[in-house]
Amino acid sequence: MPKDTVAFIGLGMMGMPMARCLARAGYPLLLRDMDEGRTNALCTELGARPLESDSAGEAGALITMLPNSDIVEEVLMAQGWADRLPQGATIIDMSSSVPTRSRTLAAALAEKGLGYLDAPVSGGVKKAEEGALAILVGGAPDLMERWQSLLGAMGGSTLHIGEAGAGHAAKALNNYVSACGLMATVEALHVAERFGIAPEAMTKVLNASSGRTNTSENKVAQFMLNGTFASGFSLKLMDKDLSIAAELARDLSYPMQLGEHGIALWHRIAEGVDVGADHTEMYALMAQEG
């Protein structure tokens, strides 16, 4: 059976390798990014076509991999890309968006005769390149089933979390835990160094012991101690995710007593960095805190 044509908007650090996975799996692609040069280069590389007003009607699914909910809503609703899709098409928002806004968006799209899944991802650029992301899906189970192969081309695991918005809620909470783990790891490394324990040695301790985190295993040696700070996930995007988690907790009247301080620290540091700063730069930036 021929594969559905897939429209893909947002060809950044994550979107580009994800689109490459879909091309490898044989999906005909219609690509779009506000950076036209990037769109054209990827179309040439993958033998894909740019997503245009007159080609959008061919798409069975439209994937968004954009910075935040404001931009997802602008692209789908204000710019009219949702209206250009055929009836019965599915919009899959793989960005890390605001869960309550995703619910509202799902209802608005249903009125237009379009399906909606939120399917944010975890694993970063490396797993995106390998097609091994963890994909966290919110929405109707039968709709997820319908697009299982498509998601499987980008993901190592696809977890159904709950109704529309549940994937985005789970993603924000995951990144809250991840950021707190990063900050705790970085603080431990700086204190250890002041006591005369080299960060390399302290990292080995953590990785051999119960204090190991995703940061100690996959970020400290790879991106922090060597000063490359090139994980491909920006400090400001993580800051956005922490704001989503904090807002969710507030909306649900559950105070994050531990997280309150960590999130405030991340916000303060994020205010002072360039938009391109990598989140692993927290290692250097937190050294200046002490």
Interface with ligand NAD (CB under 6 A): 9-15, 33-35, 65-67, 71, 74-75, 95-96, 121-122, 124-125, 232-233, 237
Q: Shortest gap between Cβ of 230 and ligand NAD (angstroms)?
A: 11
Counting Cβ atoms within 10 Å, is residue 251 exposed (0-12), middle (13-18) or buried (19+)? exposed
Closest C-alpha to 213, from 173, 259, 182, 170: 182
CA distance 19 to 202: 38
The CB-of-261 to ligand NAD minimum distance in angstroms stands at 23
SS3 31: strand
Question: What are the C-alpha distances in Å from 76 to residues 108, 114, 176?
Answer: 11, 12, 27
For ligand NAD, which is the closer residue by CB, 28 or 67?
67
Residue 177's identity, in one-letter code, is V
**Active-site choice (3, 112, 126, 171):** 171
Return the residue nearest ligand NAD (CB atom). Answer: 12
**Shortest Cβ 271–ligand NAD spacing (Å):** 18
Nearer to ligand NAD, 129 or 193 (CB): 129
Shortest Cβ 19–ligand NAD spacing (Å): 11
Is 171 a known active-site residue?
Answer: yes
Measured distance CA(144)–CA(82) in Å, rounded: 19
Nearer to ligand NAD, 73 or 202 (CB): 73
Q: How far is the CB of 272 from ligand NAD (least distance, A)?
A: 19
119 or 144: CB nearest ligand NAD: 119
Q: Which residues of 6-20 are buried (b: 16+ CB within 10 A; e: fewer)?
A: bbbbbbbbbbbbbbb
Helix (H) or strand (E) holding 233: none
Using CA atoms, how far apart are residues 98 and 167, in angstroms rounded to an integer? 10
Ranges assigned E (strand) in the chain: 6-9, 29-32, 49-50, 61-64, 90-93, 115-118, 121-122, 133-138, 155-162
Q: Which helix (H) or strand (E) holds 211?
A: none
Of residues 121 and 270, the one with the C-beta less far from ligand NAD: 121
Considering the complex, state which of residue 178 and residue 216 has its C-beta at the smaller distance from ligand NAD.
Answer: 178
**Least Cβ distance, residue 79 to ligand NAD (angstroms):** 7
In this structure, are residues 156 and 133 in contact, taking their beta carbons and an 8 Å threshold?
yes
**Positions marked catalytic:** 171
